[in-house]
Structure formats: C-alpha cells, structure tokens
Amino acid sequence: MMTTPDTQRPRSGSDILRIALRRNVGAMAWGTVLMGLYQAGETAFPIALGLIVEHTMQDRAPGALVLSIAALAVIITTVSLSWRFGMRILQKANTTEAHRWRVRVADCGLQPVARDVDLKSGEVLTIATEDADQTADIIEVVPLLISSLVAVLVAAVALGLADLRLGLLVIVGTVAILSILSVMSRRIGSSTREQQARVARAGAKVADLITGLRPLHGFGGNHAAFRSYRTVSTEAKHQAVTVAGVNGAYAGTATALNAALAVAVTLTAGWLAFDGRITIGELVMAVGLAQFIMEPLKMFSDMPKYVMMARASAERMALVLTAPPVSVPGPGRPAPGGDLEIDGVRHGALRALKFHVAAGEFVAVAAYLPRAAADLAAVLAVKVPPHAYEGAVRVSGQEIGELSVEAVREHMLVNPYDAEVFAGTLGTNIDPSGRSRSVAEAVEASMLTDVVALHREGLDYAVRDRGANLSGGQRQRLSLARALAADSDVLVLHDPTTAVDAVTEQLIARNIARLRRGRTTVVITSSPALLDAADRVLVLDDGVITAEDTHRNLLATDRDYCLAVAR
C-alpha cells in the first residue's frame, strides 16, 4: 500500500521540503504562472517604452501614440492583477502548509509515548511555530525564484536582440552574482540553525521558570534562576546579532552586485548608442531594463538565503518528526476491573520491588524516600518504558508492555502530586471531556465544595493559566477532584494532600475510601489520615517492601514506621 504525501513519514529535512512542495504543486503552478506574468509585465514595460520612443520619433502619428498608451495601460493592469492573485494563491498555500506542519509536530509532541529526542517542551514549541512557518515559506520561494528567472531571461533576450553583448552581459552577470551569494547563503543557514536552537533553549528555560516560580520564591532560588535564564538569553541575543550581521552582509553584497550589473548594462548601452550600434529607442529600453531588472535580480538573489533558512527549519522539524518513540507499546487492552501487580521492578531507587493489590482493594504505600515514591509513580504512569526497567508491571494480569499506552491510561490513572491546572474553568479542569457522571461526588470528596461555593459562578469560575488565581491547596484539591471524576478502574494517587490542613486531610481520606469503595486504589503517601483510611499499608524502604499491615498495627509494632509517619 502506497503512502500519500499527507501520511508518509519524513526521514530528513529534505523529505519535509519535498512533501511540502509535492502537496502544493497545483497552487505553486498557478502562482508561478501568475508571478511569471507579473515579472514579464514588469520587464515588458521598459521594452514597450523603448518601442514607443522608436516608432514615435519615426512616424510622429497621434494614433500610434494613443495605441502605445493603451498598450502601456494593458501592461500595467496585467502587472497589478497578476501580482494580486498570484500572491493570494501562494500565501494561502503557505499558511495552510505551515498549519499542517504545526499540527503534525504538536501531534508528535503530545503522543502518549515520548520520542527519543533531546529537546525540551519549549524547544518543541518553537519548532512547532517558527520553524513550521519558515519551512512553509518554500511554497512561495520556488514560484518567486522561477518568476524572477523569467524576468531575467526576458530582459536578456530583449537586450540581446538589440545587441548580443548586452544580453550576454546580463546572463554572465546574473550567474556571477548567484555564485557569490550561494556561498554566503551557506553561512546564513548554519548561523540560523544555531540561532533557532539557542532561542528554543531560552524559551524552554522560560517555561521551566514559570512552572517553578512559586517554589523558587519559597527557598530564595529565584535570583539564581533568573541569572541562569539571562545567560541563556544573552547567548541567544549574541547569536541573533551574528545572524543579523550575516544577513546584512548578504543583503548589502546582493544590492551592490545588482547595482553594479545595472550600471554596467547602462554604461554599455550608452557606449553602443554613442557608437551608433543601437538606436535611441533601444538605448531607452536598455536603460529602463537596467532599472527594472534590479527588482527581479534582488528577488532572485534573495532566494538562496530563504532556501537555506527553510532547509534549516525543516531539519529542526525532522528532529521531532523522525525521532523514534522511546518504546513501542503493544496493541492489547486490559480487562475491566482487575488487580495491580508489581513483580521484581528495578528502576532508580526501586530494588526488586514486589507487591500485589487485589481488585477493589484500597492500599497505601508509605515510601520513606521521596525518590522511591517518584520512581514508583513514574513506572505506573508509563513515563518509564517497560524496556527501561527490570521486572514487570501487570494490570488485570497483563503486562503493561503488551498493552497500548492509551488503554493503560484509560484503565489506570496515575495522578501526580504536581498535576497541571489549565486555563479554563473549575468545571473544565475537573471534567475536560465533559462526559463524567461523578463531578459532584468528586468535588465533595476532594473538599473542593468551599472553592465552588466561594464564587457565584460555581463550577464556571474562571481559572487562570497554571491555576495562578488559586492557592496551592486549592490547586491540589482541584487536581484530586479531576482524578476522582475520571472514575478509572485503577487509581494511583501520589501525595494528594500535602498542601491541605490536617482537618481537611482527614475528611478527604475518608471521602476517597468511601467514593472508591469496590475499585482498586493505591495511594503513595506519608499522610497518617490516608494511611489510616487504607485497607492495608505497604512500607517501602530502601527500594523494597519491608513491612505490611494496617496503619494502626504498624504504629504499635514498628518504631521506624512510627517515627516516619507520625505527625
């Protein structure tokens, strides 16, 4: 089965450019015709002026003058309309193509299985915006390149008919200009790639700072973080200045060379006219063409630069689009309900961890080391691919590696302690899909009722980006409400109550046990209230389960446990 340009997977930046060109061949063909007509009309204007001067001086007939003026009006109209409709077609195709690549890069970045690429989210965002736009510029570059070539050829032919030396001068001069500029454009390409990488790193640093701004203020690390960002931003600024200098040198050289060619054509035509080898009309045509040819020459000489920029951006997009997934998930789906089994898992701080949670059981894991708790949550959330750790994780008796990531996450929800809060409303944060039937119960169980009641809009109360208008405890309860409203078969909560007071924590613990009765629930926590509400507690120490009992029995019999969790 053959793949279409829309669905085939590019292997490099060159593939991306080929797909873009192939996908827009129709629009580019029409754009090339219209822009070629525009450039031909622009070039025809001085030719027509030369012919008018030539025939008016010979015939001196008013009718011929009127006919000539009408011909000029037709040329001007053709130039105006062809430019208008040609650029409309090309810019529409350019914008549409940029949108397609933005969506495709975003789709890769949002896939459940992470891709094996050394890029931060801020860098992926830059690739999905600026690089996608610059790559799509190739849709305009090629037609403009061809139309500029048409103008140069028309001018060369017209001048060659007047005198062969004039035509050869234009052709040889154009080739020389492009040869010089093509060498300079390579420097632009390499400098632009480096600038895009540094700007992307600066964007990623900003995203990290915004995410951790409150904790940074809490322990006084904000000034060091800002200095770190300033260093990255300064590097990006210096590279931008370098790119601007290279672009300036390129533009200045191109303008100087184009002007030199125009002067050479003008002086040569003047010498030929003075020597009587061309007529006055041909001299007017040559001088006019020397002026008009500067625009297509400038456009023609700018094309290598834009091609290199598009190629550099396409190569950066290829970093995301061609990167293989960190793991290849299986096609299976877990059975409804079911249990959770950790069998000899070794990863990070986990040392051959082994335990079993029966279907419908409420189990708490008391991790003495925060890193062990984070590693366990990461493994269960499929943030760590199965091949990256020893042992197995089974859901409903099936290993995670045999199941699709989407199916695992629909069946088993792992809610991290630092879950994101999104711009929208309380309601859309709790139930993003709009299909949950237990929003009210989740709001009550997470003790979010006071936040809803505090605002007359209720669940329609607007939440700012990252929950900036909510307190830490309110954001944590909102995240917990979202996890409970999902009503998944298996729910794993990682420190869901660290930002709430003891009384609220006690109520939340009881509510979770009541709401989740009959469904598998695991809470990774050191909260006495949640530990007491669980059917049993597993003590995770030095990467393994060292004790197992109810919270109260462990308090009475295990001194280390008592010291670790008692508040």
pLDDT value at position 11? 78
Give the Cβ contact number of residue 348 at 10 Å.
Answer: 16
Residue 219 scores a pLDDT above 50: no
Q: Exposed/middle/buried for 149, CB within 10 Å: 0-12, 13-18, 19+?
A: middle
- pLDDT tens, position by position, 518-532: 999 999 999 999 999
pLDDT value at position 221? 46
Report the alpha-carbon distance of residue 202 to residue 130 in Å, rounded.
14
pLDDT value at position 430? 94
What average pLDDT does the segment 394-412 reach? Answer: 87
pLDDT value at position 217? 44
pLDDT value at position 546? 95
Q: Which two tokens stand for residue 327?
A: 């793991």
Report the alpha-carbon distance of residue 108 to residue 279 in Å, rounded.
65
Tokens 């909560």, residue located: 493
Report the alpha-carbon distance of residue 444 to residue 201 in Å, rounded.
42
* Least confidently predicted of 281-285, 429-433, 508-512: 281-285
pLDDT value at position 495? 93
120 CB-near residues (< 8 Å, 6+ apart):
200, 201, 204, 207, 208
Report the alpha-carbon distance of residue 156 to residue 166 in Å, rounded.
7
- Percentage of the chain surpassing pLDDT 90? 37
Mean pLDDT, the chain, as a whole number?
82
Q: Which two tokens stand for residue 472?
A: 């830490």
Query: Model confidence at 235, in pLDDT bands (50, 70, 90)?
Result: low
Q: Exposed/middle/buried for 473, CB within 10 Å: 0-12, 13-18, 19+?
A: middle
pLDDT value at position 220? 45
Query: Model confidence at 2, in pLDDT bands (50, 70, 90)?
Result: very low
* Least confidently predicted of 104-118, 227-241, 379-393, 466-480: 227-241
DSSP state of 255: H
Residue 13 scores a pLDDT above 60: yes
Query: Model confidence at 467, in pLDDT bands (50, 70, 90)?
Result: confident
pLDDT value at position 157? 86
Residue 481 scores a pLDDT above 90: yes
Nearest to 364 by CA among 486, 136, 533: 533
DSSP for 465-533 reads GGGTTS-HHHHHHHHHHHHHHT--SEEEEESTTTTS-HHHHHHHHHHHHHHTTTSEEEEE---HHHHHH
pLDDT value at position 214? 45
pLDDT value at position 567? 61
What average pLDDT does the segment 289-316 reach? Answer: 77
> CB of 466 within 8 A of CB of 501?
no
Of 330 and 15, the one with more pLDDT: 15
Of 325 and 23, the one with more pLDDT: 23
Residue 540 scores a pLDDT above 80: yes
pLDDT value at position 215? 45
What is the pTM assigned to this prediction? Answer: 0.64
pLDDT value at position 189? 55
- Percentage of the chain surpassing pLDDT 70? 82
pLDDT value at position 213? 46
pLDDT value at position 122? 60
Report the alpha-carbon distance of residue 306 to residue 251 in Å, rounded.
12
Query: Model confidence at 3, in pLDDT bands (50, 70, 90)?
Result: very low
Query: Model confidence at 226, in pLDDT bands (50, 70, 90)?
Result: low
pLDDT value at position 514? 95
pLDDT value at position 257? 83
- 338 three-state secondary structure: coil
pLDDT value at position 195? 54
What average pLDDT does the segment 117-140 reach? Answer: 78
Query: Model confidence at 110, in pLDDT bands (50, 70, 90)?
Result: confident
What is the tally of helices (H) and strands (E) in the chain? 21, 12
> CB of 551 within 8 A of CB of 531?
yes
pLDDT value at position 466? 79
pLDDT value at position 565? 87
Sign of CA dihedral 304, 306, 308, 310: negative
Q: What does DSSP say about strands 520-524 and 362-367: parallel, antiparallel, or unpaired?
A: parallel
Straight-line distance from the first to the last Cα atom of the chain, in angstroms, rounded to the nearest whole number? 65
pLDDT value at position 105? 86
Residue 507 scores a pLDDT above 60: yes
DSSP state of 438: -
Of 19 and 216, the one with more pLDDT: 19
Give the Cβ contact number of residue 352 at 10 Å.
Answer: 14
Give the domains, in start order, of the chain with CATH numbers: 13-321 (1.20.1560.10), 340-565 (3.40.50.300)
- pLDDT tens, position by position, 342-394: 999 999 999 999 999 999 999 999 999 999 999 999 999 888 888 889 999 99
pLDDT value at position 218? 43
* Least confidently predicted of 88-97, 173-182, 396-405: 173-182
> CB of 341 within 8 A of CB of 393?
yes
Helix, strand, coil fractions of the chain, as percent rounded to 5: 65, 10, 20
pLDDT value at position 352? 92
Of 215 and 261, the one with more pLDDT: 261
pLDDT value at position 330? 76
Of 363 and 188, the one with more pLDDT: 363
- 2 three-state secondary structure: coil
Q: Which two tokens stand for residue 207?
A: 């995203």
What average pLDDT does the segment 483-500 reach? Answer: 93
The CA-based angle 34-262-302, given to 5 degrees, is 50
